[in-house]
Structure 1
Amino acid sequence: MKFHILAIGVLSASLLGCSSAENQTELKAELPKQQAMVVTANPHATAAGLEVLRAGGSAVDAAIAIEAVLSLVEPQSSGLAGGAFMVHYDNETKSLAVYDGRESAPSGATPDMFMLENGDSMPFIQAKTSGLSTGVPGVLAMLSMAHKEQGTLEWASLFSYARKLANDGFEISPRLHGMLARFGKYIPSTPEQGPTDAHQYFFDDAGQPYPAGYTLKNPDYAKTLDIIAKDPAEFYHGDIAKKIAAMVQQQPRAGSLTAEDIAAYQPVKRTALCQPYRDTQVCGAPPPSSWVAVGMIMGILENGPRPSAAGPDDPKNWALLAQAQQLAYADRDQFIADPNFVDMPLTGMLNKDYLAKRATLISDKATPLTYAVGDPWAYNDTPSNETAGIDATQDVHGTTHFVIVDTKGDVVSMTATVESIFGTTRMVGGMFLNNQLTDFSFQHHDKDGNAIVNAVAPNKRPRSSMSPSIVLDKDGDFLMATGSPGGNNIIAYTVKTLVGVFEWGLDPQAAVDLPNMVARGKTVRLEKDAASDSLIVAMKEMGFDVDASKGENSGLSVIMRKPDGRLEGAADKRREGIIGTL
């Protein structure tokens, strides 16, 4: 088809390493008026989503096709053997739903499975590249659930783009090659180090990663897609589940995941959390997602000192944002975990009076008060006598995010992951297995003997930083969808777009382009290549412990509805994001 040829032509230029501006080139179908939009972190994924929308598919249909492609072309970030959260907006009913596809720990998991005999935590790389770290994959079951409720096209039709790409091959993108060049040393190359499937897939006979532009084929993944397309339940009850369990149970550091654990997995449909902000509602996924911290930051900013009209040009506005982050991260780290295992003061954390009280701690200079844990239980609808332990969960980056608006006006904001780069590096059926269980705290009690809420437990879902968000206007109509990859940084990255647009008056792309700033605990990390020297100096002069870091690698995808109904997208130049319109 003409559209398909046009799309592939744009994709090839991008995958061969075009500039950031070229990466932002919009893929346009030949329709007289913009009716729908897709923003993903990869050109192939954007094209796959548009293909589905053009065929009359829903936003959920497009999400399925997109994730099937990302599992192939962006395996360092997400995949069908990983997990996800999806926030869905139904334009007809003006209602929100959250689909939870977070992975779960196997029934044989133990609280000390990531601890050494001397009581220390296992080194992260050892835990990651092992069978211990793989949870039951949840994204496919979640997508199947959402499709039954929101899909319009046949399930089997949604995998054709990914299947063709797997069989015919795709060009290794500059980002994928860069990940292999930087982190390939952690991919086992000998059986003593671990299963070597990934090394054989990505590296040549001389042990070098294939270059950007090299055509990589994955026929095993195409066969997996054939099975999934016929019946997604086969993933959880058939040979794929048995092979995943067998791979997890291989040495070194074998895990306990069984085929029975995989068969028992159930996705969850949840009610969205929403935080009033100005004349909007900012909404996202409830725990085990950490989105509540996004809502807290916006509530603290609304109830705190007003920003100046200078927006991002005023360092004091950045100081306000940094302190709001510190306040929210402190509470999030302390209280949020799997709701099936712990009680949480969710209503207290989003209580207006509590947020106003937290906002009084914001000062014109740095203060330890803003990274101390608060007492949201005092404002909660239920009390608690428990003292939560000080969190020991590690900070790891990864993940992908995409947003979709279909021709009916329905919206998907979805974040998906295999956790760290290439997950465990173990492969089954052309897919990378997740290392999601390293999102648990490796320690189960703090030094005072208090239980840590995000500790490992059988069948528990680890706390997630994934925070897909949708903003509604005062009439309940869709206004904006946003989100990002980035591990614990996701909260800060996502908030940056909300603050940029709604506090500082920027358009979505300008908000995405702002310097990334992550203020979790005492240290405030500022993106060195994007932040001005004057901002870094000013933050230091206000007493902040500033780390000017090059590592603030977000992957934001945003769609906003303008007052005239037009859609405006933004894709993060830090990755290979691209906007597609229909």
Structure 2
Amino acid sequence: MRGKLLALGFGFITVWAAAQPQNPEPASGYAAKAATTFKRQAVSAAHPLAAQAGLGILRAGGSAVDAAVAVQMVLGLVEPQSSGIGGGAFLLHFDGRALQAYDARETAPAAATPELFLRDGRAMPMREAVQSGLSAGVPGAVAMLALAHERHGRLAWARLFEPAIDLAERGFAITPRLHTLLAGDAALKRDAQARALYYDAAGQAHPVGHVLRNPAYAAVLRGIAKQGPAAFYRGEVAADIVRRLRAHERPGVMTEADLAAYRPLARAPLCTAWRAVRLCGMGPPSSGHITLLQTLSLLETEPPADQANEAWLHRLIEASKLAFADRAQYLADPAFAAAPGDDWQSLLAPDYLRERAALIGPRAMPPATAGQPAPQRSAFAPQAQQLESGTSHISIVDADGHAVAMTTSVESAFGNRVMSDGGTGLGGGFLLNNQLTDFSLAPTGADGRPVANRVEPGKRPRSSMTPTLVFQGDRLVLVAGSPGGPAIIPFMARFLTAHLAWGIPAQAAAEQPHLVNFNGPDVYLEAGRFTPAEKDALRARGHKLAEFALPSGIQALSRVQGSDWAGAADPRREGVSVGD
């Protein structure tokens, strides 16, 4: 039933006990990045070819939004595991005076029901749910970028597609990261279209340096460039998307009418004071800003440390538990689930956060339960933790000081592993998302109450994407974000604290070691980045530790002197910052 639920009882949280963290994508190495500084304009993106495409648009007189379109189209070609036209995004834009927020989150098809991922009354295994036709939501990236370009673009729409079309036709060299992910993904090669593009006749991933051409992707982009988003949401492209999802062994329910009905949304951004700055981000259906600001605020209830000492690390873990408990209880598409007290800011109210902070003691607490930020108790059951995955982030500042922070995703690495050629009959194409597995696979909690973030027709699944713009007074001082599934939130908490609170330069702040907890029993440390003394001190406080690769992908632009911008590109991925 569609609606906004409040009132009634208060349930318990389902404890998630996983054997490993929810990495967005496998790690593929760590390469130190040099600090960079730019005078006029800059692009920070997850692949050098995409960053250069965006810079070329800026140099041609394009706006930050123009550059974002070009970057996204190239990323869909060269970094297909993370984002693309088959997925969605959240975009923040600053026009020099005001802030705009655009929601390109995917929507559930009209035929989707809360039981979409149930089999014999039980939630199907996540892997089966992801690798299916069921998991694809109606893609939103193309429609949203067209809306943002209509409002903030300078160059012709078709011009923005030229770099990606040229690269798709001429080909690009496969990078070590793409090769590593292709070689490690057994599911992708089961799709005939993807296998023919990315693997040789023996089923081996094409090697590093192999020149990969994608004529179907070029043809689809050429249609969108000429006809606008209608070329994607209607006609041959839409028909091919539906045909492939419905032909899957676990067929989906999307129709061409679902694609034709998709609309991006302009939303009110959320802005929250923290220290001497104002952090702005997306509200629901993204959980990113609220959960991030809860975490940061809970860290600030005592005199802050000037470095990541053991006491600060402990407090970060505990703050994360409390913030993720509220996330599981309350955050979902606002068209279907009301905010506590009908105001999302209730979760960031100082009195409420002081009440929550009082729960943090010197020893590790068990998995936390959600708080009660409003007099009415929630009618929802908390959502059990489950996998959320692959994403990319783009940060751009143009010559007029206008900016874009866009986090973009197909969810799992390579989405649902279904490739569409848009009905072109040519080789290659684009991958479809599995964003519907960001909904709770189980529509009700253990107590039988509905989960706020359950599947419903037309609904947008909860996200962790956290594109962020930071202001000091009226002056923009930081454009930032990261991939990482739910780990985006602790990744960004660590980066923002290091950079804005401790004064560590942006590039060095992006290199800080990661520590994450999603309100489960385990604390995940980035392997090889913490000393034995730090680990012993955390264990002495009762924390259960596990070490894994935690491949964030922070891409940021930070104001330094005057109008100069310093770029930051995460050493855990292949991103770069480029500019003038």
TM over 0.5: yes
Counterpart amino acid of 1:201? Answer: L
Amino acid at match of 1:88: H
Change (3 A) 1:68 1:42: same
Task: Find the residue that maps to 2:122 and give its secondary structure.
Answer: coil
The aligned residue for residue 25 of structure 2 is none
Pairwise CA distance, 1:341: 0.6
Residue 440 of structure 2 aligns with which residue?
441
- Using the TM superposition, name which of 292-301 and 240-249 deviates more: 292-301
After TM superposition, the structure 1 stretch with the greater mean CA deviation from structure 2, 142-151 or 340-349, is 340-349
Q: Is the 8 A contact 1:419 1:435 kept in 2?
A: yes
Distance 1:334 1:560 in 2: 34
- Secondary structure at 2:184 match in 1: helix
1:20 has 2:15 as partner: no
The answer on whether the counterparts of 1:500 and 1:506 sit within 8 Å (CA) in structure 2 is: yes
Q: How does 1:366-445 map to 2 (within 5 A)?
A: 366-368=364-366, 371-378=368-375, 384-429=376-421, 430-445=429-444
How many aligned residue pairs are there? Answer: 540
Which of 38, 43, 48 is residue 43 of structure 2 equivalent to?
A: 38
CA-CA distance at 1:18 after TM superposition = 11
Cα deviations across residues 435-457 of structure 1 (Å, max 9, x unaligned)? 11111101011111111011111
Q: Is the 8 A contact 1:276 1:299 kept in 2?
A: no
Q: Return structure 1 stretches of 4+ with deviation > 3 angstroms.
A: 23-26
Separation in 1 of the partners of 2:339 and 2:544? Answer: 30
Note the 1:250-265 alignment, pairs <5 A. Answer: 250-265=247-262
Q: 1:181 aligns with which of 180, 183, 192?
A: 183
Partners of 1:77 and 1:418 within 8 A in 2: yes
Give the superposition deviation at 1:20.
2.1
Q: Relative to 1, partners in 2 of residues 1:57 and 1:483: Cα closer, same or farther, differing over 3 Å?
A: same
Q: 1:536, 1:548 within 8 Å by CA — same for their partners in 2?
A: no
Q: Using a 3 Å threshold, how does the CA distance of structure 1 residues 492 and 441 change in structure 2: closer, same or farther? A: same
Q: Match of 1:488?
A: 486
- Report the Cα distance in structure 2 between the residues aligned to 1:400 and 1:279, rounded to whole angstroms: 28
Give the secondary-structure state (helix, strand or coil) at the position aligned to 2:231.
Answer: helix
For residue 69 of structure 1, what is the amino acid of its counterpart? V
Q: Equivalents in 1 of 2:188, 2:122: separation in Å? A: 24
Deviations 1:226-264 (A, max 9, x none): 001012222112211111111111130101100100000
339, 361, 365: which one aligns with 1:363: 361
Amino acid at match of 1:420: S
Within-5 A mapping of 1:342-361: 342-345=337-340, 346-361=344-359
In the other structure, the counterpart of 1:568 is 566
Offset from partner CA, 1:481-512 (integer Å, 9 cap, x none): 11111111111111111111122221111211
Deviation by residue 1:122-159 (Cα, 9 ceiling, x = unmatched): 11121111110111000111101100111011100001
Aligned-residue RMSD, C-alpha: 1.6
Counterpart residue type for residue 338 of structure 1: D
Q: Which residue of 2 aligns with 1:101?
A: 104
SS at match of 1:422: coil
Question: In 1, distance between residues paired with 2:503 and 2:239?
Answer: 52
3-state SS of the aligned residue for 1:377? coil
Distance 2:262 2:323 in 1: 31
| SS of corresponding position for 1:376 | coil
In the alignment, which residue of structure 1 is the partner of 2:16?
none
1:133 aligns with 2:174: no
Identify the residue that residue 83 of structure 2 maps to in structure 1.
Answer: 78
For residue 241 of structure 1, the aligned residue among 238, 242, 246 is 238
The offset of 1:385, in angstroms, is 4.5
Distance 1:360 1:180, change over 3 A: same
**1:365 offset after TM fit, Å?**
2.2
> 1:337-396, CA deviations, whole angstroms, 9 ceiling, x for partnerless residues?
01111112212101111112112222222123x722111124xxxxx4543212035123
Q: Unaligned 5+ residue runs, structure 1?
A: 1-16, 190-194, 379-383
Q: Which residue of 2 aligns with 1:543?
A: 542
Aligned counterpart in structure 1 of residue 267 of structure 2, from 270, 277, 284: 270
Letter in 1 for 2:470: V
> Which residues in structure 2 correspond to 1:509-520 (within 5 Å)?
509-520=507-518
Equivalents in 2 of 1:209, 1:410: separation in Å?
A: 40
Residues 39 and 571 of structure 1 are in contact (CA less than 8 Å); yes or no, is this contact kept in structure 2?
Answer: yes
Alignment partners' CA distance in 1, 2:296 and 2:475: 19
C-alpha displacement of 1:566: 1.5
Q: SS at the partner of 1:318?
A: helix
Q: Are the counterparts in 2 of residues 526 and 536 from structure 1 also a CA contact under 8 Å?
A: no
CA distance 1:19–1:364, change in 2 (3 Å): closer
2:313 aligns with: 318
Measure the CA separation in 2 of the matches of 1:516 and 1:562. 25
State whether structure 2 residue 208 is matched by structure 1 residue 212. Answer: yes
Q: Distance in 2 between matches of 1:224 and 1:141?
A: 14
In structure 2, C-alpha distance between the alignment counterparts of 1:371 and 1:385, rounded to whole Å: 17
Which deviates further from its counterpart, 52-61 or 536-545? 536-545
Per-residue deviation at 1:529? 2.7
Q: Determine the C-alpha separation between the residues in 2 that align with 1:362 and 1:561.
A: 34
- Residue number among 65, 87, 96 corresponding to 2:92 in the alignment: 87
Match of 1:147 in 2: 149
CA distance in 2, matches of 1:44, 1:353: 47
Quote the offset at 1:563 in angstroms: 4.4
Which structure carries more relative contact order (alpha carbon 8 Å, separation 6+)? 2
Query: Does the 8 Å CA contact 2:523/2:546 hold for their aligned counterparts?
Result: yes
How far apart, in 1, do the equivalents of 2:531 and 2:577 lie?
27
Structure with a larger share of its residues in helix: 1
Native 8 Å contact 1:24 1:577 kept in 2: no
- The residue aligned with 2:8 is none
For 2:46 and 2:189, how far apart are their aligned partners in 1?
Answer: 27
| Aligned match of 1:9 | none
Match of 1:289 among 278, 286, 292: 286
Partner of 1:255: helix, strand, or coil? coil
Q: Deviations over 1:274-309 (max 9, x none)?
A: 11111211110010001211121222223x122233
Structure 1 residue 188: deviation in Å?
Answer: 4.5
Does the 8 A contact of 1:497 with 1:512 survive in 2?
yes
Contact 1:393 1:439 (C-alpha < 8 Å) held by counterparts: no
**Equivalent residue in structure 2 for 1:200, among 196, 200, 212:** 196
The code of the aligned residue for 2:398 comes to: D
Distance 2:234 2:106 in 1: 16
8 A contact 2:189–2:203 mirrored in 1: no
Amino acid at match of 2:570: D
Which amino acid in the other structure matches residue 219 of structure 2?
A: K
What TM-score do the two structures reach when normalised by structure 2? 0.90
Structure 2 runs not aligned, ≥5 long? 1-27, 422-428
TM, length-normalised to structure 1: 0.90
Comparing 517-526 and 57-66, the one that deviates more: 517-526
Q: Is the 2:35–2:566 Cα contact (8 Å) retained in structure 1?
A: no
